[in-house]
Each structure stands twice: as C-alpha cells, then as structure tokens.
Amino acid sequence: MWIYQKQLQYPVNIQRGDVGMAKFLFAQYGGPDSELSASQQYLAQRFTMPTPETKALLNDIGTEEMAHWEILGAMIYQLTKNATPDEMKAAGLGDYYATRGKGVFQQSPSGEPWTSAYIQVLNDPIANLSNDMAAEQKARAAYERLMSLTNDASIIAPLAFLRAREVVHFQRFGEALMDIQNVCVKNYAKG
C-alpha cells in the first residue's frame, strides 16, 4: 500500500499566474498520455507480471508517476489560484470555471474527463512493456511540446525534470523487456 511523503519530488514555485498555460498542463494531468494514465497503467499491469524484477519495476515506476501527477496538479493549482473569473474566461477556461471553479479536475485541455480507455492493461508482458515504452515516449514528446509553449523558467524547470524522468523510465522498461523477452541469455550478470 502507499504512504505519503509530504514533499514534492521536484520543487514547484510558480512565479506568476498563467491560466492559459494551466490549461495546456491538463494534458499531462488528466489527458490521454498524462502521468495519471501512466500510473494507472503501470500499477494495474504489475499484478500479472511474471518476474520479481518486472513486478518491482512496474510497482515502483507506477508509484513515481503518482508523484509526477502531483507535480502537475501543484503547477495547475499555483497557476490558477489567484486568477479572477475574467482571467479564466480570457484564457479559455470559462466553461471550466463555470463547471468546476478553480478545482483541479482530471481532464484533458479540451475538457474530456480522464478515462481508462486511455490506457492498456493486458496479460501479455511483452505487450504490456511495449505499451509502457510507447507511453514514456508519448509523455517525453508531450513535455517537449509543453516547454515550447512557455518562456517562464519556473514552469520550464519542472517540465524539463519530468521529461528527463521519461527518458529514464523508457530505459528501465526496455531493460525489463530484455528480461522477459523469449531470447535465452546465458550467464549474463545484471550488474
């Protein structure tokens, strides 16, 4: 089960409000390739993973993705917390404000609620890990697009961090795939 550490994995100190950017950040908070999708995909896949390494990895990366989802939530919160209704409207979150005020709801930038239709949880570990590698690349590309949508260093820093994590996760899932793929590897010490 999960206990909670009362600290973000990476600091978020947004310097000034930006409702428009907050709207874009929903992509990684509740969109198809969001941290929420990643965490739910990996944590559900771990139940049927065949080896100790793959169970541990899916468990641990899934847990880390929850921490990343939290970072996105903190960014959206800080970017909108002092916004007036007019500012919400002007930046394209008028409908959102009317429906949810300034709550941080799990949806895509265009307002679709998050759904498990965004993720893949299969029994086949090769299919699962291949999907996970794809998810990491999609997230990596998403962070690049999000960074190109702002010049604010206090927003770019956590996005660059999160992008770097996707690169590492891709490597780990690749290593896990090597572990369970049906290619016999004799006497290779994983050290």
Partner 1 sequence: MSRSAPKHTVNKFSRATCPFTCFLWHFSDIFKTVRRTVFSFFAYYVMKALPGLSAFERMTTLQNECLTTEQMNMLNSFPLAKAYVPYQVYSEPYTPEKALQRGTMWPGLDQPWEGKA
Partner 2 sequence: MTQQELLNQLQQIAFYLVDLNLYMDTHPDCPQGLALYNTYATKLRELRMQYEQAYGPLLNFGNMLAKNGFDWINSPWPWEN
41 binds partner 2 (CB under 8 A): no
Q: Which is nearer to partner 2, 23 or 46 (CB)?
A: 46
Q: CA 169, CA 68: separation in Å to the nearest integer?
A: 13
129 binds partner 2 (CB under 8 A): no
Q: CA 169, CA 136: separation in Å to the nearest integer?
A: 7
Binding residues with partner 2: total (CB under 8 A): 34
* Secondary structure (DSSP) of 132-190: HHHHHHHHHHHHHHHHTT---HHHHHHHHHHHHHHHHHHHHHHHHHHHHSS----S---
83 binds, among partner 1, partner 2, none (CB under 5 to 8 A by kind): none
11 binds partner 2 (CB under 8 A): yes
Please choose, out of 39-47, 92-100, 102-110, 154-162, the segment that lies near partner 1 by the rule CB under 8 A: 154-162
4 binds, among partner 2, partner 1, none (CB under 5 to 8 A by kind): partner 2
Q: CA 114, CA 38: separation in Å to the nearest integer?
A: 12
Phi, psi of 107 (to 5 degrees): -150, 170
Please choose, out of 57-65, 94-102, 117-125, 142-150, the segment that lies near partner 2 by the rule CB under 8 A: 57-65
Residue 133 CB, nearest distance to partner 1 (Å)?
8
189 binds partner 2 (CB under 8 A): yes
